[in-house]
Amino acid sequence: MTVILDARSLPPADRAEAVRETIANTIVRVEIDFPAAAGPAAAYGAISQLGQLTVCSVRSNAVAVERTPALARDELAPSIFLGLQLSGSSLVVQGSREAVLKPQELVIYDSTVPYTLADAEGIRQHFFRIPITALGLPHDTIRQLCGITLCPGHPIADLAGAYLHRLASRPDIYDHPDAGSVSHPSIELIRALLTTHLDATALGTEPLQATLQLRVLEYARARLGDPGLSAAQIAAEHHVSVRHLYNVLATGGISLGDWIRERRLEGCREDLASPGLRSLTIAAVARRWGFTDPSNFGRVFRTAYGLSPREWRSLAHQ
């Protein structure tokens, strides 16, 4: 679904409030500062929901966007916003960090913590919202990256910037029946961008113990299709006891069994909705993601999503 935002179609006196409400209803509730000296509020762009990825491409004469402490406590599912600067330069402030963005540079900020975006020439960014649960990274790890320019000049950052710019610049494709299929690979690319930044900073300067949680999750993610994946296997691979493994994950509020099951179910849901995998049986899709018992898979899928795998596939391909 795509929402077209065009303040020009509204009476000048109503434009600022209409823009604020549209952004609040489709992306996030924020305060938006339209300077009186700049004339009537101006904003034009598109906001699209692609699976778990929200894409927002809006150009505006607003000079500041603020997520206040009160707004940061709202009911929005904890999410990150990734900003891609289009032209000029802007300032992103979250906590004690400030990032000055140049064209094609990337930054993330956390919806649960107040932040400010400022650009004296008007906000000129593509924005991407992703629920933190979809990234499969510990929230505390993600917070380490907020308010920092991400890997300027790094090949992964260059690739991510070019891809995301093209994605946000083509709202005409979002009504295509298969448009939602770009959600999963887009989120995977963003996750790669974040872990690359960690590799280039924390992994190079901190003891291995400090990054154990991230390494464990990346190891498990790469082996979700292995039905024998277990805590004992993961612990042995990382040369720690099972008890220590559980304790490390618990510091991030992560239950290993729940985390693996949720990622496997997400993979199954994506595959069942994929037009390119319609020839696979439901049992084959389940096996791809480590579920060996079709009956048990059906039960846990229904518990998670309120539909059977067959019902979900039929609905996704309508």
- Could you report the per-residue pLDDT of 19-56, keeping only the tens digit for each? 999 999 999 999 999 988 878 999 988 899 888 999 99
Residue from 316, 218, 318 nearest 269 by CA: 316
pLDDT of residue 80: 95
pLDDT of residue 283: 95
pLDDT of residue 215: 79
pLDDT of residue 141: 83
Which of the 8 DSSP states describes residue 77?
P
Residue 295 exposed, middle or buried by CB count within 10 Å (0-12, 13-18, 19+): exposed
pLDDT of residue 68: 96
Whole-model pTM: value is 0.69
pLDDT of residue 201: 52
Query: What is the C-alpha separation between 223 and 287, in angstroms, rounded?
Result: 12
Query: What is the C-alpha separation between 196 and 303, in angstroms, rounded?
Result: 34
Q: At what angle do helices 256-273 and 212-222 cross, to 10 degrees?
A: 40
CB of 41 closer than 8 Å to CB of 27: no
> What are the residue ranges in the chain where pLDDT is below 50?
202-207
pLDDT of residue 253: 86
Q: Going by DSSP bridges, is the β-strand pair 53-60/124-131 parallel, antiparallel, or unpaired?
A: antiparallel
CB of 307 closer than 8 Å to CB of 268: no
pLDDT of residue 203: 43
pLDDT of residue 204: 41
In the chain, % helix, strand, coil (3-state, to 5) comes to 50, 20, 30
